[in-house]
């Protein structure tokens, strides 16, 4: 049994495979498949790391590694500052059943001295690390993902029932720029479901009221306001500066306009709708899945699709649907999970039941089909009246 630290490290090195930095650099240049595992502390990692490396500090290795690296046959190369912690990490990984592990020796300090490539992590302030600390603990988000959220730009069509929860949760998540499109003012009847607003702001433009709520929740967020209705004349100007559209519109002419604009401009749309006690959510990704016209080639007759003002709506319902829309937007920004592309999620609040319908792209769709016949904006009011 080892009796000293030196004996322990000596025995560990005999039981693992070590890799020179020159060989590691060659493999990186040749794009040899491997997982680079940085076992230094977070503060060290933030000062620079070998390109492509993932960070699991040595003290958290046993706790996190099986979640972060579930494939125990993967080729893993661990490194630290000098080669000692990575040797201990490699030994631990072997004991946990990982079968193809190496330790880089010496470590990152020498790598940097040799002027080999170094990547810098996203720069978050101490206040941001504190605010988003629960995100940073998630391997699927981390500092890189949070930086993506802070750099992203999401446009909300409507600051009402669906836009309210979506805006609040996107702001809380750290989406850096949120656009709000709404021409209305806050009314007492809105407050039963539109949680962005408050009694003290009745009579204010909804975009101004929403800005107050968002800035109070998260001052990191830039709010871009459009106190106007989306139409064929302004849709390009409004859409062009945003990455993702969250559609909370409540009328069919605007939905068809938004669909056509998103296809023309290749912007993903997270679509939500509500009616009485039921809601729906799907994600339209131009060129990947179906569009709104594939789902609804023509609008229903007005008497079959009354508005919430005419038919009523459970005040809690838009909270559920809007939060799902926000979740979809965050997934798109992070590039994680499986978005609702080609799937329509349905929600019945009375039965507390979710369902899913498969959606297919229509090759004869007049906008996204093989031979589109709609290539510019049309008279959407007229189209929906005819429908």
| Residues catalogued as catalytic | 308
Q: Of all helices (H) and strands (E), which one includes residue 272?
A: strand 269-275
Of 258, 299, 271, nearest to 383 by C-alpha is 299
Say how far apart CA 358 and CA 370 lie, in whole Å: 20
CA 187, CA 191: separation in Å to the nearest integer?
7
Task: Determine phi and psi for 230, rounding to 5 degrees.
Answer: -70, 130
Cβ–Cβ < 8 Å for 94, 14: no
- Among 283, 353, 357, CA closest to 320: 353
Round to whole Å and give the CA distance between 331 and 335.
Answer: 6
In a 13 Å sphere around the CA of 108, the CA atoms on its Cβ side amount to: 24
CA 211/CA 228 separation, integer angstroms: 15
Query: What residues have CB less than 8 Å from 377, skipping those under 6 apart?
Result: 232, 235, 257, 260, 261
The closest of 170, 168, 156 to 225, measured between CA atoms, is 156
SS (H, E, C) 5-28: HHHHHHHHHHHCEEECHHHHHHHH
Residues 6+ apart with CB under 8 A from 352: none
Residue 287 to residues 117, 271, 284, 370, 384: CA-CA distances in angstroms? 36, 16, 9, 11, 25
3-state secondary structure of 342: coil
Helix 317-334 and helix 163-173, axial crossing angle in degrees, nearest 10: 40
């Amino acid at each position: 049994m080892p009796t000293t630290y030196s004996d322990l490290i000596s025995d560990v090195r005999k039981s693992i495979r070590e890799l020179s930095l020159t060989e590691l650099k060659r493999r990186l240049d040749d794009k040899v498949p491997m997982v680079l595992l940085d076992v230094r502390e977070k503060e060290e990692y933030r000062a620079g790391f070998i390109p492509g490396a993932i960070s699991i500090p040595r003290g958290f290795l046993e706790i996190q590694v099986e979640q972060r690296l579930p494939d125990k046959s993967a080729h893993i190369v661990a490194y630290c500052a000098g080669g000692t912690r990575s040797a201990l990490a490699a030994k631990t990984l072997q004991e946990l059943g990982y079968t193809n592990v190496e330790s880089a020796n010496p470590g990152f300090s020498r790598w940097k001295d040799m002027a080999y490539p170094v990547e810098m992590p996203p720069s978050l302030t101490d206040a941001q690390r504190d605010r988003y600390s629960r995100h940073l603990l998630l391997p699927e988000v981390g500092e890189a993902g949070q930086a993506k959220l802070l750099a992203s730009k999401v446009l909300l069509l409507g600051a009402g029932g669906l836009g309210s929860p979506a805006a609040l949760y996107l702001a809380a998540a750290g989406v850096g720029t949120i656009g709000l499109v709404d021409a209305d003012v806050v009314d007492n009847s809105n407050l039963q479901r539109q949680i962005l607003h408050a009694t003290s702001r009745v009579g204010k433009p909804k975009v101004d009221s929403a800005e107050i709520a968002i800035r109070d929740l998260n001052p990191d967020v830039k709010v871009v306001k459009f106190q106007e209705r989306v139409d064929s004349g302004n849709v390009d100007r409004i859409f062009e500066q945003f990455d993702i559209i969250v559609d909370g519109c409540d009328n069919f002419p605007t939905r068809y306009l938004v669909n056509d604009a998103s296809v023309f401009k290749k912007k993903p749309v997270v679509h939500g709708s509500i009616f009485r006690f039921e809601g729906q959510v799907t994600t339209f990704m131009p060129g990947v899945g179906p569009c709104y016209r594939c789902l609804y080639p023509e609008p229903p007759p007005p008497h079959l699709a009354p508005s919430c003002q005419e038919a009523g709506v459970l005040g809690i319902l838009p909270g559920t649907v809007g939060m799902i829309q926000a979740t979809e937007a965050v997934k798109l920004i992070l590039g994680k999970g499986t978005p609702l592309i080609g799937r329509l999620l349905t929600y019945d609040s009375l039965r507390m039941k979710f369902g899913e319908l498969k959606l297919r792209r229509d090759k004869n769709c007049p906008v996204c089909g093989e031979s589109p016949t709609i290539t510019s904006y049309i008279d959407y009011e007229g189209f929906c009246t005819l429908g």
